[in-house]
Amino acid sequence: MNRRLTALTGSAVLALTALLPAAAHAQAAAKPDPTKPGATVPGTNRKITAAQANACFVWQGGVTASGGHHFSDPTATTPPTVPDDWTDAGVFKPGQIRLSARQTIEPDISGTDRYGYVVIGDSLYYSYYQVYGDGTIDNRSLSRVGGGWGSFTFLETSEYESPDNAPKKFYRSTSYALRNDGVLFRWNMGSKGWQATGSYKGFSAVKTMTLIAKTPTYDTFLANTRGGALYTIRIPSASPMKPVVKQVRTRSWQGFETLSAMGCGNYGSLLLAVDKDTQKAYLYAVGHANGLSTVIQSRGEVKSNFNDPVSFRWVTIPVYDTANGE
């Protein structure tokens, strides 16, 4: 399906024409949930076991220094394990990607489609490619959206799609970007393209953040600060943009350059926190966010490499990428 996306960032008009897999949209036909037991782990021939699914895992991604796309699945077993770890080399040029939003990895009849937004230098791009069953990479494309992204330090997208059994189907696609002066920007993406829907000052202390909840009416990020505190940032979808910030912890979280969360259970999240200076990573089971009363349980250190220059989370199509952490 060809879609033309347009967006307004300040005075810059952004435009994109991209071939997006049909299953990425609310009108798509249902597919089996690729995160459940028996589904194939992306990029492998291994099946997700019931034990792994019950323990919860994070589909962590990265862009390597040489331009490869990295996948691993840290799992909250005792102790934590990483059953799968692979890299597809040559997806990008060495050092080309500066920022990455979440990347969708979607099975198709011949392999997988992989797509999402990245920042190269001062410009935003839509990245797309296919990987066949034998590992061959094909149909690579980088479609330039627009400029003016040189001062942004964080980029993420949130796609909410109601479950297949919902009485009324609902789909929402929103992007967020944090600028280096602490201003958080928001765009809605739909049939009319990217539309700026607000910005909000006051986030200059934020080091990084990760999406823990997406609903028809709001998104919620979990963010750490350079001073060590941990906060939730709920952003209602209504305009004007008015985030609701709640403190979750007061200290000790300043060392993490990467936070990456994936839904765990009905209302919680499994959080991967990476300290790239010490090259250590830890898993935390995070209960339904409720300010300082939020339950956070350490599951231990993950003995693996999460030090790619650019980090992101791999996701499935939005109907299965549930996030109910707040």
DSSP character string of 134-190:
TS-EEEEEEEEEES--TTEEEEEEEEEE--TT-SS--EEEEEEEEETTS-EEEEEEE
C-alpha to C-alpha distance for 74 and 85, rounded to whole angstroms: 9
Mean of the per-residue pLDDT values of the chain: 90
pLDDT beyond 70 at 129: yes
pLDDT confidence of residue 248: 98
pLDDT beyond 80 at 142: yes
In this prediction, residues 73-93 reach a mean pLDDT of: 97
CB atoms within 10 A of CB 225: 19
pLDDT beyond 90 at 15: no
Q: Report phi then psi at 51, rounded to 5.
A: -65, -40
Query: Is residue 164 very low, low, confident or very high in pLDDT (cuts 50, 70, 90)?
Result: confident
CB atoms within 10 A of CB 136: 10
Sign of CA dihedral 175, 234, 206, 87: negative
Pair of tokens at residue 199: 């910005």
Do 308 and 70 touch, CB atoms closer than 8 A? yes
In this prediction, residues 208-233 reach a mean pLDDT of: 98
Q: Which of 80, 15, 72, 84 is nearest to 45 (CA)?
A: 84
Q: When comparing pLDDT for 198 and 31, which is higher?
A: 198
C-alpha to C-alpha distance for 74 and 152, rounded to whole angstroms: 28
Pair of tokens at residue 44: 């492998």
pLDDT confidence of residue 191: 77
In this prediction, residues 150-155 reach a mean pLDDT of: 98
C-alpha to C-alpha distance for 128 and 141, rounded to whole angstroms: 5
Query: Is residue 22 very low, low, confident or very high in pLDDT (cuts 50, 70, 90)?
Result: very low
pLDDT beyond 60 at 13: no
C-alpha to C-alpha distance for 236 and 188, rounded to whole angstroms: 12
pLDDT confidence of residue 10: 40
pLDDT confidence of residue 1: 30
The share of the chain scoring above pLDDT 90, in percent, equals 82
In this prediction, residues 210-236 reach a mean pLDDT of: 98
